[in-house]
Amino acid sequence: SVRECMCILAGTIEKMLSRLMSSSIRSLDRECNCTVRLLDDSEYTCTIQRDAKGQYLFDLICHHLNLLEKDYFGIRYVDPDKQRHWLEFTKSIAKQMKSQPPFTMCLRVKFYPPDPAALKEEITRYLVFLQVKRDLYHGRLLCKTSDAALLAAYILQAEIGDYDPGKHPEGYSSKFQFFPKHSEKLERRIAEIHKTELIGQTPETSELNFLQKAQMLETYGVDPHPCKDVSGNPAFLAFTPFGFTVLQGNRRVHFLKWEEVTKLKFEAKTFHIYANQKEDKKIILTYFAPTPEACKHLWKCGVENQAFYKLEKSSQVRTVSSSNLFFKGSRFRYSGKVAKEVMEQSAKIKRDPPEIHSAHSTPVRSVSHGDSFMSSRGHMMDGSEASTSAVISDEAYSPSDSVLPTPVAEHGMEMPLARHLNGSPCSIDEEKESEAGTSKEGQAAEFRLGRRALRMVRSRQSPQSDVEDLNKFVLSVLRLFLVTIGLLFALLLLLIMLTESDLDIAFLRDIRKTPEFQQFHFEYFCPLRRWFAFAFIFVLIYML
């Protein structure tokens, strides 16, 4: 009847709609939002498939920036345990993040160019300039007072142009925050260089001069990893375009060229560097990372930097492993181009220079209302890196912003606490003066409070660390026991195979003549051998 036909038609339409809705929901589940913070503090947001690999996202960002010399850059993210990582381009993004979307990451310079002047395109130099300027502001790029003044003057010239008495009143340089802390003497020197020595320089020239000056500093390209040496003293390990560096007490205590480094290895929280120096002098440096995850990240960064700067061709890259008998090992292979190949590929670029939309973001300090962050063009920033810099001694290298996970340090509200505990990072080596209006007694009291808070945090965490150490010791003993049992079992099997073989050795003949062996041979070995033969024949027949 008509009614039955209508019911059947309605049921069919309902099923089709439900299928369409379920498929659309599944397609939505397969997509996720991703936000990448760029070097000029702007954000790039896109929608990616859940199974998309890191290379896809990186190519989207490079297309958005019109960037061809992209092998110097990488995407950094932080996992739920606050551990920093570089996004691996050959693996799925969702599996690496280990968190629920939306994902938040940052575009950063991963491999600093050894010679910034050799970069082919201006857009690449501009992005590297933004990164190095960020390093200077966060205390990762250390320098003397004279060098600091010149670097800041280059930034000032690139952002506001030539000095104009009508536009730039007395004390104009003090409004900009180039370093973690300023002194009035340094501010006056910055303004003096800007007024007299840099007149007529274009922004592009000033940025190039800034990079060439920064490239000569010992801490150029440093991305510090906090560790401790064998004596328990804090240290920062870093990989630069020229080699491996160890920083302690605001100075470089070790430097190994990439040609001298022979092997990088880690075991749990222990990191080893093997090197051969002049006259066949072999050295081994050992340091201890805060966590096994941090140690693995340090090892992977070292493997990538060594491959990028040391090798002649990417075909020479080999899979590197770090393991021994009692610890879980890791295998890793660098998958990108090496520095020499990147330079050769850059030389082949032939196109009109892309337009650069520069949006400089040097923080501007407000004299009357504390520190406010504003770009030199008057646009308010989002406060991502806004925090009050505490005044500390210049005797310790403490780049707190670079140690914290990048998105947390640049997006969250945890930075003021981290600065309070760890101290503000120092960027000027010779500067011994305090901030204007801050007494020495106030500095000492603030330093004591910071140390007291740090001791309280450590005391709260000590029971948990003791339990973790005990668990790791028990696991090591268990691994040793299992390995020993396995070796004994393997030796027993080897002995049985030798005695059952036709080898005519006096030792084996004596064993074969014993009643125990003959009983084992007839009661156990012969039935087991027949069983294996039948099983093999059965499997062979099944496969045929």
Of 162, 197, 215, the last residue of a domain is: 215
pLDDT of residue 418: 32
**Of 83-97, 309-323, 334-348, 375-389, the least confident:** 375-389
**Of 64-68, 262-266, 538-542, the least confident:** 538-542
H/E/C letters for each residue in 104-122? EEEEEECCCCCCHHHCCCH
Residue 372 located in a structural domain = no
pLDDT of residue 189: 93
Residue 357 located in a structural domain = no
Mean pLDDT, rounded, for 181-206: 92
Instruction: Identify which has the larger pLDDT, 138 or 460.
Output: 138
pLDDT of residue 462: 44
Residues 121 and 82 in one domain: no
Residues 89 and 45 in one domain: yes
Going by DSSP bridges, is the β-strand pair 261-267/234-240 parallel, antiparallel, or unpaired?
unpaired
* pLDDT > 60? residue 432: no
* pLDDT > 70? residue 343: yes
**CATH number of the domain where residue 173 is located:** 1.20.80.10
Residue 460 located in a structural domain = no
Residue 407 located in a structural domain = no
pLDDT of residue 368: 34
**CATH number of the domain where residue 75 is located:** 3.10.20.90
Residue 72 located in a structural domain = yes
pLDDT of residue 534: 84
How many structural domains comprise the chain? Answer: 3
Instruction: Identify which has the larger pLDDT, 337 or 544.
Output: 337
**Cα–Cα distance between 82 and 54 in angstroms, integer?**
20
Structural domain that includes position 187: 116-141+143-215
Helices (H) and strands (E) in the chain, counts: 16, 14
**Residue 394: band (very low, low, confident or very high) from pLDDT cuts 50, 70, 90:** very low
Going by DSSP bridges, is the β-strand pair 31-37/103-109 parallel, antiparallel, or unpaired?
parallel
Residues 176 and 260 in one domain: no
Of 109, 131, 152, the last residue of a domain is: 109
**Cα–Cα distance between 368 and 362 in angstroms, integer?**
19
* pLDDT > 70? residue 403: no
Mean pLDDT, rounded, for 488-511: 81
* pLDDT > 60? residue 91: yes
pLDDT of residue 417: 28
Residues 38 and 79 in one domain: yes
pLDDT tens-digit readout, 249-272: 878 999 999 999 999 999 889 999
Both tokens of 203, joined, read: 């922004």
Residues 92 and 134 in one domain: no
Mean pLDDT, rounded, for 26-36: 75
**Of 26-30, 154-158, 456-460, the least confident:** 456-460
Both tokens of 338, joined, read: 């090496």
Mean pLDDT, rounded, for 115-135: 95
pLDDT of residue 322: 73
Residues 298 and 314 in one domain: yes
* pLDDT > 70? residue 405: no
Using a pLDDT cut of 90, give the percent of the chain over it: 44
The whole-chain average pLDDT of the chain stands at 78
pLDDT tens-digit readout, 211-234: 999 999 999 999 999 999 999 999
* pLDDT > 90? residue 364: no
**Residue 524: band (very low, low, confident or very high) from pLDDT cuts 50, 70, 90:** confident
Identify the DSSP state of 501: S
Residue 355 located in a structural domain = no
The CA-atom distances, in angstroms, between 139 and each of 142, 465, 508 are: 6, 30, 71
pLDDT tens-digit readout, 462-487: 455 556 667 777 887 888 888 889 88
Residues 83 and 44 in one domain: yes
Of 215, 238, 266, the last residue of a domain is: 215
Residue 273 located in a structural domain = yes
**CATH number of the domain where residue 334 is located:** 2.30.29.30
CB 245 within 8 A of CB 193: no
Mean pLDDT, rounded, for 520-526: 81
Residues 97 and 205 in one domain: no
Both tokens of 134, joined, read: 């960020």
Residues 269 and 321 in one domain: yes
**Cα–Cα distance between 470 and 463 in angstroms, integer?**
11
Residues 326 and 242 in one domain: yes
Instruction: Identify which has the larger pLDDT, 65 or 29.
Output: 65
Residues 69 and 130 in one domain: no
pLDDT of residue 453: 44
Highest average pLDDT, of 77-81, 380-384, 503-507, comes from 77-81
* pLDDT > 90? residue 98: no
**Residue 333: band (very low, low, confident or very high) from pLDDT cuts 50, 70, 90:** confident
Rg (CA), the chain: 31
* pLDDT > 50? residue 410: no
Residues 68 and 96 in one domain: yes
pLDDT of residue 454: 42
Residue 170 located in a structural domain = yes
* pLDDT > 70? residue 523: yes
Mean pLDDT, rounded, for 391-412: 42
CB 105 within 8 A of CB 77: yes
* pLDDT > 70? residue 309: yes
